[in-house]
Structures are given as structure tokens and as C-alpha cells.
Amino acid sequence: MQIAVEITDKFHVSSDLKTSYALLADVPRSVSHFPDMQKLQDEGKGRYCWYLKPLGAAGISHQVVYACVYVVDEKKSTVTWTPVAGVGNGVIRGQWRLTAQGQGTQIEFETTGDLEVPIPMLLRAAAKPIVQGLFQNQVRGYLKNIKTALGQ
């Protein structure tokens, strides 16, 4: 079953633009703040494969695996990721956008995608909100950890 996922957030941190961007543009360093991360595999040329720890609830257990190509643009203060076709069971894309704001930084985060989750027919009606909730909780935990690292 294919399930669409999406999350956006906008927040301010006390770290300056240079410090904030340095963390988010360094994919392995940034991803080290992601909860439930099993492994991030660097495949070269800005390509990384994510392996999340299996999660489950209400009889649904699933491990998300996907790959993205990351493009960092220091002049625009953005980090963009696009999916690599045919890798894993997720197709995820998104972007960080940073703007200097006073002595701190305004950070915008957005990510969308689709997860292919093997779900028994009897659980399909309940599965979508459960999987979306699990995904959003993971990403919210990641954003919370980033905010803490950069000073809320």
C-alpha cells in the first residue's frame, strides 16, 4: 500500500546563518540528529541512502529505506533533496531554506513523499493515519533535535 507523507515547519534558532547552514548542509552531521536512525550510507556525489529502524504500531511494522541526492546551495542558503528511483520503499523529497534574522536564523523545512508499506487487507483502512503519524513523529523529533543543537 502506498501512503503519502508530508511535513512542513518554520522556526527560529539563535545560531547565526553560517553556523546553522554548516550543520544542515553537512548531511551526515544533520542526519545524526534523526531519531530511530539505523544507518546513513554515503554513496558518493551527494547521494545518501537512509535506513530507519523498524517501527510499528497497531499490528503494522515497517522499516523505511530510501535514497536521495542532496544539493547544497550556499548562495541561496538551501539544501534540497530529491529521490533516487528504485531504491528502497520510500520516495522522499524536500528542502531546508535558511534566512538570516537578526543575530539568529529563520529555518524553513519541508518534506513530502510516498512510502510503500506492506499492509494486510484487514488493516488497510486504519494504516494510513498510523503510518503518517509514525513518520511525522520521527521528523518532529528530528526537527526538535536540530532546534536544540542550534539554540531555540
Amino acid letter, 10: K
pLDDT digits (tens, 9 = 90+) for 37-82: 999 999 999 999 999 988 766 566 678 899 999 999 999 999 999 9
What local confidence, expressed as pLDDT, does residue 55 receive? 75
What confidence category does residue 120 fall into, taking pLDDT thresholds of 50, 70 and 90?
A: confident
What local confidence, expressed as pLDDT, does residue 132 receive? 87
| Range scoring the smallest mean pLDDT among 57-71, 99-113, 128-142 | 57-71
Radius of gyration, alpha carbons of the chain: 16
What confidence category does residue 18 fall into, taking pLDDT thresholds of 50, 70 and 90?
A: very high
Contact 87, 49 (CB under 8 A): yes
Q: Quickly list DSSP for the chain.
A: -EEEEEEEEEEEESS-HHHHHHHHHSHHHHHTT-TTEEEEEEEETTEEEEEEPPEEETTEEE--EEEEEEEEETTTTEEEEEEEEEEETEEEEEEEEEEEETTEEEEEEEEEEEEE----GGGHHHHHHHHHHHHHHHHHHHHHHHHHHH--
* Mean pLDDT, range 12-26, rounded to an integer: 98
More confident residue, 132 or 71: 71
Q: Which has the closest alpha carbon to 152: 111, 106, 97?
A: 106
What structural domains and CATH numbers belong to the chain? 2-150 (3.30.530.20)
Query: Given the C-alpha cell 534566512, which residue does it identify?
Result: 99
